[in-house]
Structure 1
Amino acid sequence: MSDARTPAPESSAYSIFQQPWWLEATAPGHWDAVEIEEGGRTVARLPFVVTKRLGLRMLGQPALTQALGPWMQPTPGGHSKRLAREKDLYTRLITGLPAHDIFRQNFHGEVTNWLPFHWQGFTQTTRYSYVLDGLRNPAQLLAGFSKTTRNLVRQAERVVEVTESDDVEDVLRLAEKTFQRQGKTLPYSPDLLRRIDAAATRHGQRRALVARDDQGRAHAAAYIVGDQARAYLLVTGADPELRRSGAGNLVHWRAIQAAAEFTDIFDFEGSMLEPVEEFYRKFGAVQSPYSFVSRSSGAGALAFEAWRMLRR
């Protein structure tokens, strides 16, 4: 395994979430990676975060991180050769994992072959995100919006103005209000988003968009991170008392436009919740599947499920 303090090459990742700087920001001192080198170059890598729950050792991923999973250097040649190479490298990555009771990760959508994990006792569930491609054609994007979404965007433009903020606290306040409306607390530490913001400012791209009316009231906010490959909608929030303005739709549209400054792909990060799925789908985004892969011992699985039930 690699030393978590030693950065892996920036190319050894499918997304910013697999980058060492992201992992250090989201799980400082608690992440590592299995790495396979050939000829002095990293050809495969599997990062993970180590946590303990009820005395169980878990390998997973940090909060506010869409996916980890394995990365593999592209293999030249035909389909059969690629699959054979994947089987070899993925098996070596699995073998290199430290002892654990539970493994739980979302894999990047680029990983379409999870059979080597199946053969090692892992299970898989398909999940979905929603993705927009072609951000630099705003007219085409708007045409793909549902009529309802377009109308809400136009409605909000008459009520609020969306500006970029250097202060992530604006986003945090509205995110907290969103969860309070549901009778819940923020599912991540505010300091986590602050660390991400500081790291993304140095290493990646970040945009914090806030919609305010002429009285200075913040209606909605969206926070995105990314790089040249893709932008991700990481955090959103809205004031429950001001929801009728349609600012939530407008701030998403402005986030898409802001992402176009550094990439051509926008990932809403999806949701398995029906109302959220419908909201993202109405922006014309395309359904994009990815795998949730897990493995646990019998006792570990039962204890972990009991812990999850207690949290609920």
Structure 2
Amino acid sequence: METQIFTKENLDIAAKALQQGEIVSFPTETVYGLGAIATSQEAVLKVFEAKGRPSDNPLIVHISDIQQMISTVEEVPEIALTLAKAFWPGPLTMILKAKPGIYAPALSAGLPTVSFRMPNHPLTLELISKVGIPLVGPSANLSTKPSPTKVEHVFEDMNGRIRGIVDGGSSTVGVESTVIDLTNDEGPVILRPGVITKEQIEAVIGPIQSTVKTTAGEREVPKSPGMKYRHYAPKTPVFVVDGTVEAFEETIHKYKVQGKTVGVMAQNAIVDAFENKVEGTYKMGTSVDDMNRALFDALRTLDHLKLDVILAESAPEVGVGIAYMNRLKKAASTAL
């Protein structure tokens, strides 16, 4: 089966395919999602199969109307409504206790909680509305590979595995949503960092736990995706380098004397300094926001060159740099 590309003009066909239990990828501001109706166990299991995703890695439910969340959870704390008003539609995911018997058991890996997000993309909001049922939407890549931020990324991984892809252009954020758990007795806690930062959340709801829990133990079922398994990794080894010309110069020299081919993904000024000294480059812009937006495309682009190593610029682990470094560390090899 050749995977079909859908646009706004034939969105009704994509919606019908989803209603019939098929898998359709959709665009969001973060990354492309792998869509299936969230109430069908059979459809949700197809998503795990298409991705090759471990069954204890939960999925996020994507909604187009806040009533779709309100009507399917045990209770809606005031804090959830406050966060929704401030950040939805947008890259924030909230974990709440779901009413039993509504959503497919597989999407929460047996936990009583469900993660909800309202994506900030007009085509996907329209698609969910047309389907009339919330959709799961994990990143539309093969498990462990870099997340897709363009249609061609999805097609590369999913052609022949899914019914279609809704073309909504390139993702504008580039890394997955911030996930906040609202079911903890001790209060809200961030389980996955994103471009909506802890500081932005605290400006709306007041102080939250200072310890950000972003990993789960080997035997623990994670509440949020991105906490347990290796993610985002291309086949080419990736090493993180401090964001200075001197650090890149030293590291490039180290691999060159070994006869290695080298790729550099960094902000424009660093790439400009080494463009003629390495075999592959990717300019990631001039800010950490740009780096988040470019990260997954950079990893995929340089991986296609079949180099020996990829050297990736680090970012300060503050603000949106926390989200960038969280993804980059998961993509990277363990040591230089």
Q: With structure 2 as the length reference, what TM-score do the two structures score?
A: 0.22
- RCO (CA 8 Å, sep 6+): is it higher in 1 or 2? 1
Q: With structure 1 as the length reference, what TM-score do the two structures score?
A: 0.23
Higher strand share: 1
